[in-house]
Amino acid sequence: MTDLLYVAALVILANVAVSAWRVLHGPARADRIMGAQLIGTSGVALLVLLYLIHGSSGVLDLALLLALLAAFAAVGYVKSRSADGAGDPEVAGGEDP
Amino acid sequence: MIADAVTVLLIGAGLFFFVAGTVGFVRFPDVHSRLHALTKADNLGLGLVVLGAALQAPDAATVLKLVLVWLLTLAAAATVAQLLARSALEDGAP
């Protein structure tokens, strides 16, 4: 069972490599941030697998942290593009994109 | 023994969706369709992996922590997808 989990972890690492390629190649800036988000999600899946292989529940706290930080990176990118985070159409006076 | 088999099965299905989402993320033509593939397929893959891991968890606290990891990733991905879609729209994404 453990070696199957190692194979699964290798597949997830291949995922990280592919999304790293997308971060490098991505034509639009949004693609690069999406690649970073995918690396975050793959990292979370990898940490869950590592918990299965030789579990210490601290690894799951790390997965929680990584999921949170990946989201903040993308929010940081959006806020850097426009001050109000690309506007909110529902807000009165919010400009339509 | 049964739990191990079911866990391997679930993690295999989760990986299938993970790889499908990543292939979609690479192959799709424009930003918004990539965002679509990235957010939905990968989170489903993560959900199945978490479900597989929950079977092996020794106590309820670990199962709850695993489900919390998945819920946080879902909430983060949904929020980020909306923000990125609107931000990419403003940049005149192809």
Domain boundaries, chain A: 2-80
Residue contacts between A and B (CB atoms, under 8 Å): 141
Position B78, amino acid: A
> Is residue A88 predicted with pLDDT exceeding 70?
no
Best CA proximity match to A51, nearest among B22, B83, B52? B52
Residue to mutate among A3, A52, A79, A88, with most B CBs inside 10 A, is A52
Report the SS3 class of residue B8: helix
Q: Which residue among A34, A70, A82 places its CB closest to the CB of B76?
A: A70
CA dihedral B22, A13, B9, A2 (to 10 degrees): 180
* Distance from C-alpha of A62 to C-alpha of A64, rounded to nearest angstrom: 5
Domain range for B39 is: 2-91
Residue A95 CB-half CA count within 13 A = 9
**Structural domains counted in chain B:** 1
> Is residue A84 predicted with pLDDT exceeding 80?
no
Q: What pLDDT digit, counting tens, does each position of A26-63 carry? A: 788 888 888 888 999 999 999 999 998 887 888 889 99
The pLDDT, as a whole number, for residue B92 is 67
- pLDDT band (50, 70, 90) for residue A85: low
Q: What pLDDT digit, counting tens, does each position of B20-79 carry? A: 988 888 888 888 888 888 888 888 999 999 999 898 888 888 899 999 999 999 999 988
